[in-house]
Amino acid sequence: MIRFLARSRKTDLKTNIILGSIFSLLLFTNCMEELKNIEKSTLKYPSKLTYSTSISIDVEQFLPDKIAIDVKGNIFILGNNRTLFVIRTSGTIEEIELEHIKPCELVDITTDGFDIFLLDRMNRKIWTVTRESISDKGFALTKRPLLFDVSNNGLFSVIYSNINEISIFSKTESNFNGFSLDGMILTTNEGDLVFKNKVIYFANQKNDRVEKYYLYSSNKKVFFRIESPKSLTLDMYGNLFIQGKHDIFCIRQGNGDTKTFLTGNKGEDIAIFDRKLFILKPEEKSLDVFKIIYSSADSNNGTRE
């Protein structure tokens, strides 16, 4: 009788442990599903763009080419491969002194929100602009760069001239895997790179598509068919805006659908700040600003390659 009771207690104990484990698993699963539902409910999709204003870049002998906007809303404009202006939030335009790094060939600009980074093809360096003053010592590169971007955790992605890959590195280490560009070799800085949240987007103008790569899954690739994509920018929800040959497109986060905005637009570079899309038009020496109107519903049926 005593042995039977002891066995019964052991059996009940095992049963309680198993039931407890199952309950914990169900609770964890329900929590994860709830988190997914919360994420879906907070995800916003761009529904339309409404014109807000146009900012004049009235500077003599200056041809604007690329833009970047810091966390405060200051707009940095790169032009002539050697000149940098900033449009402050007050509306004033000032030139940032770059004389001590010249001669140079600045082909791209980006920001992590706080610092501004300039890509110098001639000197094979990345220069840092902090508090509107450029550092005396740039970060040296091994080859001639064409395009680059910096992620929100300090990693850089770079495409070099005559090298068919996207290289990944930080200022302190370089032991990251790159991404093959499927035999394609660039010799000019056509297209664009965006690197955020362990995902890299490449605007491949020659092949009329936007390519998506995953930092820790080098074999995973997604292609979106876009005619001659020039520039890329991400909004706070992860929606990817694209300046195409004639139109503005948006690849929606979560479902990958493509929506077309502003048909007939001939911008060259784009950036997003405070739910506004900034479109650089070099020939007109202006920045067109559009307010992004969002919706939580996703009724768009886009196309994807």
First and final CA of the chain: distance in angstroms?
72
pTM of the model: 0.82
Q: Is the pLDDT of residue 5 over 60?
A: no
| Strand (E) or helix (H) holding 87 | strand 83-87
More confident residue, 44 or 14: 44
Which pLDDT score, from 0 to 100, does residue 285 have?
A: 95
pLDDT at residue number 180: 86
d(CA 47, CA 30): 31
Return all residues near 205 (Cβ < 8 A) that are at least 6 apart. 190, 191, 228, 229, 230
Please tell me the predicted confidence (pLDDT) of residue 173: 67
Determine what percent of the chain is predicted with pLDDT higher than 70.
Answer: 81
Distance CA 170, CA 165 (A): 16
Specify the amino acid at residue 208.
D
Residue boundaries of the structural domains of the chain: 1-42, 44-295
Structure confidence by residue, pLDDT tens digits, 254-294: 878 999 999 988 899 999 999 999 999 999 999 999 999 99
CATH topology of domain 44-295: Neuraminidase (2.120.10)
Q: Are strands 199-204 and 75-79 parallel, antiparallel or unpaired?
A: unpaired
**Which residue has better confidence, 209 or 153?**
209
Q: What was the pLDDT predicted at 105?
A: 97
pLDDT tens digit string along 146-193? 999 999 888 999 999 998 899 998 876 666 768 888 767 888 888 999
| pLDDT tens-place string over residues 218-227 | 788 999 999 9
CA gap 154, 145 in Å, rounded: 18
pLDDT beyond 90 at 129: yes
